[in-house]
Chain A
Amino acid sequence: METQNPPNGHPSPEEAAAALRETEKLTTDVAGVKVPAWYFPALGAVVAPYGLITVLPDTPLGIGATFAGIAAFLAAVLLIAHYGVKQMGVLRWLTWKETWPVFVPCGVLTVAALAASFVIDSNWLWVGLSAAIGVVIAAFGPYHRRTSPYYKQSDSQ
């Protein structure tokens, strides 16, 4: 005799399909929560001046300012991350597919600066590097919000 309901409390194929549709929608919804528009520009603005600590004088005041600068930088990054995640309600680590457009240019810039440091004997090189990396990070924000496949899936629903 053909059974109407599968054994062991398993759903029917139709019920299983409905359950899968629900889970897919939810997964897309949550993964599609966008990083706030201010997040990457704020991060870029904090990173950009970081290189200035390399041109501070080797005086007690300069050394104190260096440590203060590093502490301020770390505090600012943590605060940005904290408020960004709090606003989103989701902490999702971005994938390599989403983030290579920021990591690859930053890597290229860093390698270029390292190579240039053999020729240019100036700490202003690192000031320029951090400023350039700051710009890349800031620019990544709008690019990411426009191109992330997770956001596109969510927008299309």
Chain B
Amino acid sequence: MTTDPASTAADGFNPTIHAPNRLKICAALYAAGSGGQVEFATVQDKLQISASVLSKQVSTLVGEGYVHQNRATRDHRQRVWLSLTKEGRAAYEAHVAALRAIVEG
């Protein structure tokens, strides 16, 4: 059996983040930078997915402590702003590094 070089890239690979929509959510929130936030509707628009799908994936990430939700009521409507937590940023960066290592073999 040959040693798969990709297995050495396992450090930082995060199966929770890697699910397609969750990876995209993290990428979108990462763009806002440290201390930044992105509105739920903006993430939905950029990812082109339904609100219910986005909400479900966000809940998973919140459950893992990677994403923080900030709810605010404005003009009688509830707006939700999402941000990566410190742990979420670290996990995402490590995951991206793991993906790069897989690509580079």
| Least Cβ–Cβ distance between B20 and chain A, in angstroms | 8
Across the interface, name the chain A residue whose C-beta is closest to B46: A29
Establish whether residues A90 and B38, one from each chain, have CB atoms under 8 Å apart when the complex forms: yes
Q: 1/0 per residue A1-27: CB within 8 Å of B?
A: 111001111111100110110111011
**From DSSP, what is the main secondary structure of chain B's interface residues?**
helix
Count the A-B residue pairs with Cβ separation under 8 angstroms: how many? 108
| Least Cβ–Cβ distance between B88 and chain A, in angstroms | 14
Set A10, A13, A24: member contacting B7, Cβ < 8 A: A10
| Least Cβ–Cβ distance between A91 and chain B, in angstroms | 4
Establish whether residues B99 and A1, one from each chain, have CB atoms under 8 Å apart when the complex forms: no
Q: 1/0 per residue B22-36: CB within 8 Å of A?
A: 011011111111111
Establish whether residues B10 and A90, one from each chain, have CB atoms under 8 Å apart when the complex forms: no
Establish whether residues B1 and A30, one from each chain, have CB atoms under 8 Å apart when the complex forms: no
Establish whether residues A89 and B39, one from each chain, have CB atoms under 8 Å apart when the complex forms: yes
Any chain A CB within 8 A of the CB of B102?
yes
Establish whether residues A16 and B99, one from each chain, have CB atoms under 8 Å apart when the complex forms: yes
Interface size on A, residues (CB 8 A): 33
Given contacts A19-B18, A90-B31, 19 further A-B contacts (CB under 8 A): A1-B1, A1-B2, A3-B2, A7-B4, A7-B7, A9-B15, A11-B18, A11-B102, A13-B102, A19-B99, A23-B96, A26-B47, A27-B27, A28-B31, A30-B28, A30-B31, A89-B42, A90-B32, A93-B33
Which of B's residues lie within 8 Å of A, judged by CB? 1-2, 4, 6-7, 9-10, 13, 15, 18, 20, 23-24, 26-39, 41-42, 45-47, 74, 81, 96, 99-100, 102-103, 105
Set B6, B41, B103: member contacting A89, Cβ < 8 A: B41
Across the interface, name the chain A residue whose C-beta is closest to B4: A6
Any chain B CB within 8 A of the CB of A77?
no
* Contact A91/B6 with A10-B102, A20-B100, A27-B31 known, Cβ cut-off 8 Å: no
| Least Cβ–Cβ distance between A83 and chain B, in angstroms | 11
Establish whether residues B99 and A20, one from each chain, have CB atoms under 8 Å apart when the complex forms: yes
Which residues in window 79-99 of A have CB below 8 A to B?
A: 86, 88-93, 95
* Contact A26/B33 with A3-B4, A17-B103, A89-B38 known, Cβ cut-off 8 Å: no
Establish whether residues A22 and B27, one from each chain, have CB atoms under 8 Å apart when the complex forms: yes
Any chain B CB within 8 A of the CB of A31?
yes
Establish whether residues A29 and B31, one from each chain, have CB atoms under 8 Å apart when the complex forms: yes
